[in-house]
Amino acid sequence: MRLLILGTGWMAQEHARRFTAIDGVDIVGAVDVDPARVVEFADSFDIPNRFTALEEALTWGEFDAVANVTPDRIHHPTTMALIAAGKPVLCEKPLAENYGKATEMADAAEAAGIVNMVNLTYRNVAALQKARQMVQAGEIGT
């Protein structure tokens, strides 16, 4: 999967660290409105393509999905643009600033037949990682 990371702050760095550890995931692009910050971020994670506007990345289009790690107030407009472009989105919490915007995002993704999900779990905490290991080992669940 070719992944674009939208936003390059602290949480985006955590996303980049975790996604680079997953076989089959290649972070191919990064977007931030601050040119210096996107260059620093992309250099840190060997990300080849850098953009200062989501529209530039959408025009390029050579990615399969997006981790939306922008400030909360930016989640709705950026995710709506990504959905309109047919790109699945993992959006940091909260999904939107209010129920109406979150519903609009979910409805648009459903109508487009694509994934729009919110990251609600601290998936890297020890207890969840242990549960994952237990599932993979066949000790619990599937």
pLDDT tens digits for range 55-102: 999 999 999 999 999 999 999 999 999 999 999 999 998 889 999 999
DSSP letter string, 102-133: HHHHHHHHHHHT--EEEE-S-TTSHHHHHHHH
Tokens 């237990």, located at residue: 134
Q: What's the pTM value of the predicted model, to 2 decimals?
A: 0.84
pLDDT in tens, 94-116: 889 999 999 999 999 999 999 88
Per the DSSP assignment, residues forming a β-bridge with 49 are 29
Domains and CATH numbers, the chain: 2-136 (3.40.50.720)
* Other Cβ atoms closer than 10 A to 82: 28
Closest CA to 27 of 55, 61, 66, 59: 66
